[in-house]
């Protein structure tokens, strides 16, 4: 199932759903406050590294990933390639595109981020060069959903799925069954118990709307969202979902979100589960090399590392916990990993 990424549908979706979120005062009347997470506002530029005796080539990477994700990859990459020093620039997707329109594309060598629309636009306008790295074993689709550029200018480095993060203990206290389908979200018994992201403020939320509309159809999808909106407590930051790893606060027992929040929380011991409803969709994160990079060799080395077995296995780290974009390159998925992409692998990983 392919999530619609077109600007027209996104614009209509955001405008229409604004009417639903207008009554989001539930977020204050129920006592649930969407708190900011440290990852929402990371430093603009990573601290400079200490000079070494041997001159190192500096590679500038633009990303929106939180610091714990970037640091995990940075340590592993520089250990394997000590001749290359990474300089990390942080920009959220709204600002990253504008930044790359500057002189010499802002001095960026590699763009690495979950920003589907940005990569599509940058590819179409010629701002990305062909990767020319080994892409053997990298899927072009998940089901019917294309996750990588057919012209080889950017490729999925990881993907995320959408569904329901559940607190079984909270559901039991409230006498509620776990929702399993998008339609379940409309049931009156869930009123005030479901956290849902504000599409105009939370980065993954527009794609989440696309997923529901694709799964249910345009008319039925909007009818479902309008009806379910009466049950929602609206969250204005992605950090509100990250904070659920410490336990859901009453009356919340369900969060409609992207899977890596649940995966990371579960890996760190949180008593939560995650359900992928029928007809769910996936959102890829991509990696690409900028057209004007003066460090092409180093850029290809970094891209190759991210897509390698060593790089893809870093996605399973407890503070990262994402789905591999190249599952066939991963030697083994860990037990308990939320990973619909790897179901066919037959290894020890499983859905939770």
pLDDT digits (tens, 9 = 90+) for 128-137: 999 999 998 8
For residue 49, what pLDDT is reported?
Answer: 55
Q: 233, 250, 275: which is the final residue of a domain?
A: 275
337: CB partners within 8 A, 6+ apart? 263, 316, 321, 349, 350
Examine residue 182 and state whether it is found in any structural domain, yes or no: yes
What's the whole-number mean pLDDT along residues 152-178? 95
Closest CA to 244 of 1, 14, 37, 23: 37
Shared domain for 300 and 271, answered yes or no, is no
260 and 175 housed in the same domain: yes
Domain stops at, among 240, 275, 310? 275
Stretch among 12-21, 221-230, 263-272, 303-312 having the lowest mean pLDDT? 12-21
In the predicted model, is pLDDT for residue 324 greater than 90? no
With a cut of 80, say whether residue 289 has pLDDT above it: yes
Please report the pLDDT score of residue 139 as a whole number. 86
**More confident call, 114 vs 330:** 114
Q: Report d(CA 150, CA 40) in Å as an integer.
A: 32
Co-location of 239 and 301 in the same domain: no
> Given a cut of 60, is residue 102 above it in pLDDT?
yes
Please check whether residue 327 is in contact with residue 341, taking contact to mean a CB–CB distance below 8 angstroms.
yes
What is the structure's pLDDT at 346?
Answer: 42
pLDDT attached to residue 341: 52
Mean pLDDT of the chain: 82
Residue 14 has pLDDT above 80, yes or no: no
Share of the chain above pLDDT 70, in %: 76
Torsion angle, alpha carbons of 131, 135, 141, 143, to 10: -160
The b-or-e profile of 211-241 (16+ CB within 10 A means b, else e) is: bbbbbbeeeebbebbeebbebbbbbbbbbbb
Q: Read off the pLDDT band of 54 (50, 70, 90).
A: low
Task: Give me the mean pLDDT over the 183-197 stretch.
Answer: 97
Q: Stretch 330-341: mean pLDDT, rounded?
A: 54
Arithmetic mean of pLDDT, 181-203: 94
Q: Say if residue 179 is in the same domain as residue 319.
A: no
Query: What is the pLDDT, as a whole number, of residue 318?
Result: 78
The DSSP string of 53-72 is SS--EEEEEEE---HHHHHH
Q: Are residues 169 and 86 in the same domain?
A: no
CA 69 distance to own-chain centroid: 12
Judgement on whether residues 227 and 190 belong to the same structural domain of the protein: yes
The verdict on 315 and 229 lying in the same domain is: no
98 and 192 in one domain?
Answer: no
What is the C-alpha separation between 81 and 92, in angstroms, rounded? 27
Nearest to 212, CA basis, from 182, 257, 184, 188: 182
Q: Locate all alpha helices (DSSP H) within 42-141, ordered by sequence.
A: 67-80, 93-100, 116-124
Quick one: 176 and 315 in the same domain? Answer: no
Torsion angles phi and psi, residue 2, rounded to 5: -95, 125
Range of the domain at 223: 161-275
What does the pLDDT read at residue 28?
A: 31
Cis peptide before 333 (omega within 30 of 0): no
Report the CATH number at residue 94: 3.40.190.10
202: confidence class by pLDDT, cuts 50, 70, 90: confident
Residue 124 has pLDDT above 80, yes or no: yes
Q: How far apart are CA 288 and CA 113, in angstroms?
A: 9
Per-residue pLDDT for 66 more than 50?
yes
Tell me if 253 is assigned to some domain: yes
Q: How crowded is residue 82: how many other Cβ atoms within 10 Å of its Cβ?
A: 11
Report yes or no on 21 lying in a domain.
no
* Domain identity same for 189 and 241: yes
More confident residue, 247 or 186: 186
Q: 190 falls in which pLDDT band (50, 70, 90)?
A: very high
Number of domains in the chain: 2
Phi-psi region of 5 (alpha: psi -120 to 50; beta: other; left: phi over 0): alpha
Q: Are 243 and 37 in contact (CB under 8 A)?
A: yes
For residue 16, tell me if it sits in a domain.
no
Identify the DSSP state of 115: -
- The pLDDT, as a whole number, for residue 142 is 80
């Amino acid at each position: 199932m392919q999530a619609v990424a077109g600007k027209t549908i996104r614009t209509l979706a955001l405008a229409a759903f604004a009417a639903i979120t207008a009554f989001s005062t539930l977020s204050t009347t129920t006592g649930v406050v969407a708190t900011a997470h440290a990852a929402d506002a990371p430093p603009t530029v990573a601290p400079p590294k200490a000079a070494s005796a041997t001159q190192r080539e500096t590679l500038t990477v633009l990303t929106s990933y939180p610091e714990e994700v970037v640091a995990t990859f940075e340590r592993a990459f520089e250990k394997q390639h000590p001749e290359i020093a990474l300089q990390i620039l942080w920009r959220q997707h709204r600002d990253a595109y504008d930044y790359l329109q500057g002189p010499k594309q802002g001095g960026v060598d590699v763009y690495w981020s979950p920003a589907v629309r940005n990569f599509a636009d940058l590819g179409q306008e010629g701002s990305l060069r062909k990767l020319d790295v080994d892409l053997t074993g990298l899927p072009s689709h998940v089901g019917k959903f294309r996750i990588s550029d057919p012209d080889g200018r950017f490729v999925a480095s990881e993907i995320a799925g959408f569904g329901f993060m559940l607190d079984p203990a909270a559901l039991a206290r409230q006498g509620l069954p776990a929702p399993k389908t998008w339609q379940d979200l409309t049931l009156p018994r869930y009123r005030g118990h479901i956290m849902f992201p504000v599409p105009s403020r939370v980065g993954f939320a527009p794609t989440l709307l696309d997923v529901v509309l694709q799964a249910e159809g345009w008319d039925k999808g909007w009818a479902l969202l309008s009806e379910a909106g009466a049950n929602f407590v609206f969250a204005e930051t992605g950090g509100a979902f990250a904070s659920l790893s410490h336990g859901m606060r009453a009356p919340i027992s369900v969060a409609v979100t992207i899977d890596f929040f649940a995966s990371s929380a579960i890996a760190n011991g949180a008593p939560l589960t995650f359900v992928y409803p029928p007809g769910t969709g996936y959102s890829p994160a991509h990696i690409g090399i900028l057209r004007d990079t003066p460090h092409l060799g180093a850029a290809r080395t970094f891209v190759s590392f991210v897509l390698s077995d060593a790089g893809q296995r870093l996605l399973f780290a407890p503070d990262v916990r994402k789905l591999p974009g190249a599952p066939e390159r991963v030697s083994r998925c860990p037990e308990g990993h939320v990973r619909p992409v790897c179901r066919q692998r037959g290894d020890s990983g499983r859905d939770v």
